[in-house]
Amino acid sequence: MTTSDVRYNQGQIILHWLIAAMIFFMIGLGLWMVGLPKESELAPGQESVRAFWFLLHKSMGITVAAFILLRVVWRLTHKTPPLPTSIANWQQKLSSGIHYLLYGVMVAMPITGYLQSMYSKYDTKLWGMKLPRLAEANASARETFTDIHQVLAYIFITLLVIHIGATIKHRLNGTEVTRRMSLWK
């Protein structure tokens, strides 16, 4: 088997790492911004920066959702390189399961975030451009999708820790599997 047989193509590799960078930024931003004070919690005359960071999170979320959709389509239409035979069967199955869960959560996160935003009393904007409102503000629905979005975020973080941990384990063990998605040959 040649090196090109065991690697994803360059487009998939670049898309993987672009999405990864955006997701890490989004997770950090999301965890940080929810702790920012709301306008009503500030002393008179103070301005909240919370809206700016939420709008950035929403715009990044919609953007990364487009990249994720492209990645899912690409994954469905392109064959994945085979795992090395040195990887135990149970690890191959676990890897496959984790990847399906990662893709599922990567699709569900922007959907629940968008629905959370749609049911909010605030407009949803994409890089400053107001998007059409598809539903009326509904505090109960917004709260439900907020809760789902937050739970998915923690599930996602857990899956990422497993994914990255497995990558580090294989890299330290010298397994060829990490070369499949490596930016460097």
Q: What is the pLDDT of residues 114-145, one digit of tens each?
A: 999 999 998 889 999 999 988 999 999 999 99
Separation of alpha carbons 185 and 181, rounded Å: 9
Q: What is the pLDDT of residues 9-32, one digit of tens each?
A: 888 889 999 999 999 999 999 999
- Work out the pLDDT band at 71, boundaries 50, 70, 90: very high
Separation of alpha carbons 49 and 182, rounded Å: 38
For residue 158, pLDDT beyond 70 = yes
Task: Note the pLDDT of residue 3.
Answer: 46
Query: Hey, what's the torsion of the CAs at 36, 28, 15, 80, to 10 degrees?
Result: -130
pTM score: 0.86
Separation of alpha carbons 98 and 74, rounded Å: 18
Q: What is the pLDDT of residues 80-116, one digit of tens each?
A: 888 888 888 998 899 899 999 999 999 999 999 999 9
Residue 16 and residue 91 in contact, taking contact as beta carbons nearer than 8 Å: no
- Work out the pLDDT band at 47, boundaries 50, 70, 90: confident
For residue 68, pLDDT beyond 90 = yes
Task: Note the pLDDT of residue 11.
Answer: 87
Task: Note the pLDDT of residue 75.
Answer: 86
Task: Note the pLDDT of residue 1.
Answer: 45
E strands, 33-132, are: 125-126, 129-130
For residue 163, pLDDT beyond 70 = yes
Query: What's the topology of domain 3-181?
Result: Fumarate Reductase Cytochrome B subunit (1.20.950)
Average pLDDT of the residues in 36-41: 84
Contacts of 119-124 with C-beta under 8 Å, sequence gap 24+, read 119/145, 122/51, 124/58
